[in-house]
Amino acid sequence: MPAVSKGDGMRGLAVFISDIRNCKSKEAEIKRINKELANIRSKFKGDKALDGYSKKKYVCKLLFIFLLGHDIDFGHMEAVNLLSSNKYTEKQIGYLFISVLVNSNSELIRLINNAIKNDLSSRNPTFMCLALHCIANVGSREMAEAFAGEIPRILVAGDTMDSVKQSAALCLLRLYKASPDLVLMGEWTSRVVHLLNDQHMRSILPLPHCLYPLDFNPSPPFLLQIVSSASTDLQDYTYYFVPAPWLSCKLLRLLQCYPPPEDGAVKGRLVECLETILNKAQEPPKSKKVQHSNAKNAILFEAISLIIHYDSEPNLLVRACNQLGQFLQHRETNLRYLALESMCTLASSEFSHEAVKTHIETVINALKTERDVSVRQRAADLLYAMCDRSNAKQIVAEMLSYLETADYSIREEMVLKVAILAEKYAVDYSWYVDTILNLIRIAGDYVSEEVWYRVIQIVINRDDVQGYAAKTVFEALQAPACHENMVKVGGYILGEFGNLIAGDPRSSPLVQFNLLHSKFHLCSVPTRALLLSAYIKFINLFPETKATIQEVLRSDSQIRNSDVELQQRAVEYLKLSSIASTDVLATVLEEMPPFPERESSILAKLKKKKGPGAVTVELEDGKERGELNGGGDRGGDASTPSPSADLLGLRSTAPVSGTTPSAGSLLVDVFSEAGPSATSAGVNDDGFLSSAPPTVASEDPAPPLPESDELLNKFVCKNNGVLFENQLLQIGIKSEYRQNLGRMYLFYGNKTSVQFVSFNTTVSCPGELQSHILQLEPLVEGGAQVQQVINIECLTDFIDAPLLNIKFRYGGALQNISLKLPVTINKFFQPTEMAAADFFQRWKQLSQPQQEAQKIFKASHGMDTEVLKAKLLGLGTALLENVDPNPENYVCAGVIQTKAQQVGCLLRLEPNAQAQVHTHKCILLDSMLIMCHQCKSILNSC
């Protein structure tokens, strides 16, 4: 086979590249480059017209210089000229230059598009491919506009060569990704189906799934091709004795976009295919080369993914598990890694969970001995996924012992996993407490707030473990050096339950106090603040410690502490302890009430850290957590809807913990800040009966109330308020958002004196959001208020708000109400501060049409600066001061956090006082025009 010689064709280029390579220093290189740039510039400017060859050579040199990392500010025109050459090599360099150095210089784009158009219609397959590759590489909106109509035609035309079709299909894909609105396959659908049903075409056409017609249904021959691909048609595609591995993987992956076939015969064929793949993987290798086994196993892993996707064939699932089990001890690290990864998903299937569990010893061994940290991490993931009641103690113990030597990079995640498993599978709570304290001992630095908050929540909610917890923390605190998190947990627990161990003279009140106080000086301010609260609790629990503790509080280092929080606590606690009567003290410093039932904050954190695969276990964990936490039947539920951050009152200015606001049925109490809006939402009063008249009420969720959209707008900039009210029911809402997660507390108030029965609520989310709703008791007593928690995760950008449907019977009549939950994309904004230069640089970069949206609208509610500012801040972005040269304008920046991506967003509002209109321009990294509408509605509602 003839090979190309070095730099053949362009001697000058080869000489130049050699020169650069021989440069001894950066300076010499720059000098040589500048010399060359000057030379090229003079050639391009010279009187003598350059021939195609020279032009090609110089453009190629410019490209080389650019690829070395230097800026190129000329030569674009010459490159565009090359596009219209009829010599392949010249054209190729022209297209390459355009593809690599593309900038949206509109004038050139027009010329480039012209050249492309000519090549596409040239009927010369080589030129057509060059043009298609250029479109595929650039993929700009301008190109999509120009060619989205033309390319499908090339794709389906009978006389187009196969290789051109290949390029056309992928070119279309690129345009589809960049501008899905422009690629309309509608009229071509039937002809695309024709292509797909042709086995030969399917083998060579890498048609991506998003271009498949919506109603495409994989047919039996389609499936059969996966295994029968040894046919002569595919001889060119055999790779190390494996027939068409990439095609097989692609088809298997495609099937994962569809549910299992319903037709029994087709399903049977498919199962047969999958069995054949599993069988083939077991056959003795046809070659010792790693390429052979890799290609074969690529298909095997893809087939297993499909088996897991269907999750309906127990035999296949168990077989898959067994075959993966063989890989767990394979000498190829890659295979061990992939087997661990794949088994992790098998563990979540009820059919294969037990089969996965049989490999526990091997996996534990992998955790201990693998050299590659990523393999150890997969082993830890798998242990987590295979954990259940039967093996929890063993797995938690192994994970704890691994933590002692675990890599720093994965410690935090390991800690979360141990904490979750310990909580989830705790049969006795002493084991749980031991485990968490061990965690703190072994990896205290990696134990986040969520973890130690959680252990306290659980101890408070479970009175059977309180004495044990007090005893254990007391013992743990004996260690000369213990982690600050241990001090926090110890301080909190002894402050609440120290009395339970005070009978033992070895842990008498004074001993407990001295032990805690011996740690005080080594701790940070928040921990000291916590300890001070523990001390005041001690005064209540053990009057005999009062004098000692007052002495401590009175010392200059407390009462004159330079930290205002510590000083305040010392002063107030001292005063409280000296003037309050025992009764008052006992009331104020009462034991903490149980915490309300809710999703573990640890779990939320782990979900945030990891993709879905790693957290499969907790899908069914609602019930079990209920057991552990003892439920919320001890009352006080509605009283503490605050996030766990406030658990200890560390951040609140009121230092007295232990008192909770009354859980009165007056909704307004809960929404003190929402007072005014409660009246404004009163518009619903008369709308109620007409929206769900009892006579026609059906069991299907009602359509959303007509005013829901307006309600939605009200909540764009605020998180709390009254969502809905009629004669029967008031719904209040409090919500909080962090990154791509949101939590909503809904408060349903029964305004009547009659109970609501069959009270049931459901949330339906668009696919871009995921929600989890904790179900309520079906009875709501007259005058009562119940609280419901809804967790929301934003997977990707979305337009439609989730719908909340509420159904209940009031005096026998079915009430059926649907509302939009006020979840709008801006709730997931993270404000971003940036300097003016930075802002405008980004602003300019994001100049493609699909990245921006602009609206001019009437300022219907005036243009007061402060109001506008407040609204823009309410939107969730950072309001950037002194950035826009025009002081009248407002500019904002933020990042929308979704699970799939983070989308930066810049926004500028230009009020025009004379015309009383705003021009509002929003720049986004993605096509989310919805933002623009939202901004408008916010400002309109000013």
Partner 1 sequence: TVWIRFILIQNRAGKTRLAKWYMQFDDDEKQKLIEEVHAVVTVRDAKHTNFVEFRNFKIIYRRYAGLYFCICVDVTDNNLAYLEGIHNFVEVLNEYFHNVCELDLVFNFYKVYTVVDEMFLAGEIRETSQTKVLKQLLMLQSLE
Site residues for partner 1 per CB under 8 A: 1-4, 6-7, 14, 17, 21, 60, 63-64, 67, 69, 87-89, 92-93, 96, 99-100, 126, 133, 136-137, 139, 163, 166-167, 170-171, 173-174, 177, 204, 206, 208-210, 236-237, 239, 244-247, 249-250, 253, 291, 294-295, 297-298, 301-302, 333-334, 337-338, 371-372, 374-375, 611, 845
Are 846 and 731 in contact, with CB atoms under 8 Å apart? Answer: no
Cβ nearer to partner 1, comparing 500 with 853: 853
N-to-C CA span, the chain: 74
Q: How far apart are CA 56 and CA 53, in angstroms?
A: 5
Give the nearest distance from C-beta 578 to partner 1 in angstroms: 57
Closest CB 249 distance from partner 1, rounded Å: 5
What's the token pair of residue 425? 């599978």
User: Measured from the CB of residue 294, what is the shortest distance to partner 1 in angstroms?
Assistant: 5
**184 vs 564, which CB is nearer to partner 1?**
184
Question: Do residues 639 and 662 make contact, with C-beta atoms less than 8 angstroms apart?
Answer: yes
List strands edge to edge, sheet with 803-810. 756-764, 803-810, 813-820
Q: Which one, 119 or 496, has the nearer CB to partner 1?
A: 119
Task: Write down the least CB distance from residue 403 to partner 1, Å.
Answer: 20
Which CB sits closer to partner 1, 14 or 571?
14
What residues pair up with 924 in beta bridges, in sequence order?
905
Whether 165 has a binding-site annotation, put simply, is no
DSSP 3-state of 83:
helix
Question: b/e per residue, 261-286, with b = 16+ CB within 10 A?
Answer: beeeebbebbbebbbebbeebeeeee
d(CA 193, CA 180): 20
Shortest distance, CB of residue 349 to partner 1, whole angstroms? 17
Nearer to partner 1, 302 or 398 (CB): 302
Tell me: is residue 605 an annotated ligand-binding position: no
Residue 659: φ, ψ to 5°: -95, 145
In the complex with partner 1, which residue's Cβ is closer, 374 or 508?
Answer: 374
What does the DSSP 8-state code read for residue 74?
S
Residues 6+ apart with CB under 8 A from 188: 152, 153, 155, 156
Q: Report the nearest approach of partner 1 to the CB of residue 396 (Å).
A: 25
Q: Which two tokens stand for residue 405?
A: 């030597």
Q: Annotation-wise, does 12 bind a ligand?
A: yes
Residues 6+ apart with CB under 8 A from 546: 539, 577
* Cβ partners under 8 Å of residue 314, min gap 6: 351, 352
Q: Is 721 annotated as a binding residue?
A: no
- In angstroms, the Cα distances linking 764 to 190, 773, 800, 801, 802 are 34, 10, 11, 9, 6
CA distance 329 to 414: 23
DSSP state of 405: T
Write down the least CB distance from residue 137 to partner 1, Å.
Answer: 8
Which of 240/857 has CB closer to partner 1?
240
Q: Which residue, 115 or 592, is less far from partner 1 as judged by CB?
A: 115
Minimum gap (Å) between residue 739 Cβ and partner 1:
14
CB atoms within 10 A of CB 428: 11
Strands 756-764 and 769-773: unpaired
The annotation status of 11 as a binding-site residue, yes or no, is: yes
CB of 863 closer than 8 Å to CB of 875? no
* Length reported for the chain: 942
> Are 434 and 472 contacting, i.e. CB atoms less than 8 angstroms apart?
yes
Least Å distance, CB 628 to partner 1, is 32
DSSP character string of 189-216: HHHHHHHHT-HHHHHH----GGGS-TT-
**Residue 696 has what DSSP assignment?**
G
Cβ proximity to partner 1: between 344 and 773 the closer is 344
Question: Which of 289/861 has CB closer to partner 1?
Answer: 289
Residues 6+ apart with CB under 8 A from 313: 271, 274, 307, 351
Query: Please, what is the minimum distance in Å from the beta carbon of residue 655 to partner 1?
Result: 42
Q: How far is the CB of 900 from partner 1 (least distance, A)?
A: 9
Whole-Å CA distances, 496 to 211, 470, 489, 511, 514: 62, 9, 11, 16, 16
Which of residues 84 and 126 has its CB atom nearest to partner 1 in the complex?
Answer: 126
* Rounded least distance, CB 757 to partner 1, Å: 46
Say if CB 649 and CB 533 are below 8 A apart. yes
* Calpha distance 457→469 (Å, rounded): 12
Q: Binding residue per annotation — 820?
A: no
Task: Identify whether the C-beta of residue 250 lies closer than 8 Å to the C-beta of residue 206.
Answer: yes
**Segments in 828-893 forming alpha helices (H):** 836-845, 865-874
Choice between 374 and 659, CB closer to partner 1? 374
Q: Is the Cβ of residue 177 or residue 368 nearer to partner 1 in the bound state?
A: 177
Q: Which two tokens stand for residue 339?
A: 């087997």
Residue 573 among known ligand-binding residues: no
CB of 237 vs partner 1, minimal distance in Å:
5
Nearest to 757 by CA among 712, 708, 809: 809
Are 549 and 577 in contact, with CB atoms under 8 Å apart? yes
CA neighbor of 89 nearest in space, from 134, 130, 119: 130
Could you give the count of Cα atoms lying within 13 Å of 94 in the half-sphere of its Cβ? 29
User: What is the C-alpha separation between 747 and 723, in angstroms, rounded?
Assistant: 10
CB of 165: closest distance to partner 1 in angstroms?
A: 11
Instruction: Give CA–CA dist 380/364, Å, rounded.
Output: 8
Nearer to partner 1, 830 or 934 (CB): 830
- Shortest spacing between CB 208 and partner 1, in angstroms: 6
- When the beta carbons of 3 and 265 are compared against partner 1, the nearer one is 3
Dist CA 778 CA 775 (whole Å): 9
Binding residues, as ranges, are 11-12, 43, 53, 57-61
